Amino acid sequence: MKYESHITQSACSAKSIYHVLSNLKSFERVRNMIPQDKIQELEIEEDYVRIKVNGLGQKIGVFIADKEEEKVVKYGVENSPIAVTMWIQMKQVAPQDTRIKVTLDAEIPFMFRMMVEKKLQDGLNQAADMLAQFPYEEWEKGDAV
């Protein structure tokens, strides 16, 4: 089942957004935003992030499944109890105006859909809002993490 966020507006170029989102090492910049009491391990590399969350027996990984320069970055998930793919689309409409949309494709069992659909939708919209606020061009200039 596919879920799409609303479209948000970033004051950065699609080039800068793509550059940051297509390198998962960029997540080092937001490591301190993750509640440390919720995770046991966090491993960040250029093409994957693996995290072991309290209460789960195994690491869940996010990896870059596909990308198209300045248009989309698609992420896959490994070791998840459900199949999940997420992609972030970007479309530059002016020099400092790029629109962002987040799409999630998740195989949620029918009996759970009604319980999680609203929360999933709200979470996607929050993710899109957050992504639109990141200082991509500043991060791109300070490439060393």
Return d(Cα 129, Cα 133) in angstroms, integer: 7
DSSP string, 58-99: S-EEEEEEEEETTTEEEEEEES-SS-EEEEEEEEEEETTEEE
Q: Where are the domains of the chain?
A: 2-141
CATH T-level assignment (fold) for domain 2-141 = Alpha-D-Glucose-1,6-Bisphosphate; Chain A, domain 4 (3.30.530)
More confident residue, 31 or 114: 114
More confident call, 120 vs 54: 120
pLDDT tens profile 31-62: 777 777 878 888 999 999 998 877 777 889 99
